[in-house]
Amino acid sequence: MIKKTIWITGGSTGIGKALAIKFSNEGWNVAISARREELLNELSDKYDNITAFPLDVTDKEKCIEVFAKIKNKYNDIDICFFSTGTWNPKKEKDIDVEQIEEVFKVNFFGTVNTIKAVEQFFKDKKSGIITIVSSIAGYRGLPNSTGYGPSKSALNNLAESLYFDFKRSNVRICLVSPGFIKTPMTDKNNFKMPFLKTPEYAAEKIYDGLVNKNVFEIHFPKELTLILKLLSFLPSKIYFRLVGKLTKYQKK
């Protein structure tokens, strides 16, 4: 039986790392990418079917080169899971233009770079899954989120747009919207995170959604995401009032 293959970016920590281990344990070939090569090598040394392909997703040419290496090793790729992200809460409270540019460069354009690298392969293959990792922060505007939330909202729109384009080639576009997952990135938060879950919990939900189901969006935990989805349908006046109270927002 031929092993299936998944390529995961952001695979050195958090959700990406947990998902790499999950797919590895399920017998898949796993190609993992991130900037921190030493962390990737720790995983690849521990798991025979995980291979490290270091990558900075903001480098468009490097994305193409790394994907070529992955194709050369495995010949076929079934799923791409693009989960690169950055977040600096200390710089989100004010309009820090350089910070916002950096967030979009990594979160949005880094994802676009990797999708572009695999676009023709999947359109020629006429099957497979391209997964875009967003966040519940992309549903609607939130306080103290001048860069991160807008970058994730842009990914939501991108995923919906690409859904139509890739469907013509029988390629599934999947959007992943996690709630609060305990990772090095969320460890920066200085507020209580409701329904906080582990990366392993996220990996189980994502694996099930990608392999066993055929849905556009995988979102979890439902106790949180369904509430936020309901809020997203509210008129702006009511939404602002409710979210303002929930986040104890105060006028300056």
pLDDT tens-digit series, residues 167-180: 999 999 999 999 98
Mean pLDDT score across all residues of the chain? 92
pLDDT at 47: 97
Predicted confidence (pLDDT) at residue 51 exceeds the cutoff of 50? yes
Cα 123 to Cα 225: distance, rounded to the nearest angstrom: 32
> Domain extents for the chain?
5-246
Domain 5-246 has CATH 3.20.20.60: no
pTM of the model: 0.92
Instruction: Say what the pLDDT of residue 103 is.
Output: 94
> Sheet holding 29-33: strands in order across?
50-52, 29-33, 5-9, 79-82, 129-133, 172-178, 217-220
Q: Is 148 labeled as catalytic in the residue annotation?
A: yes
DSSP characters over 172-217: EEEEEEE--B-STTGGG--S--TT-B-HHHHHHHHHIIIII---SE
Query: CA 67, CA 44: separation in Å to the nearest integer?
Result: 17
Q: Do 49 and 3 touch, CB atoms closer than 8 A?
A: yes
**Rounded mean pLDDT of 119-126?**
98
| Segment 54-78, tens digit of pLDDT | 999 999 999 999 999 999 999 999 9
From 47, 74, 139, 148, active-site residue: 148
User: Whole-angstrom Cα distance, residue 138 to residue 142?
Assistant: 9
Determine the pLDDT at residue 248.
65
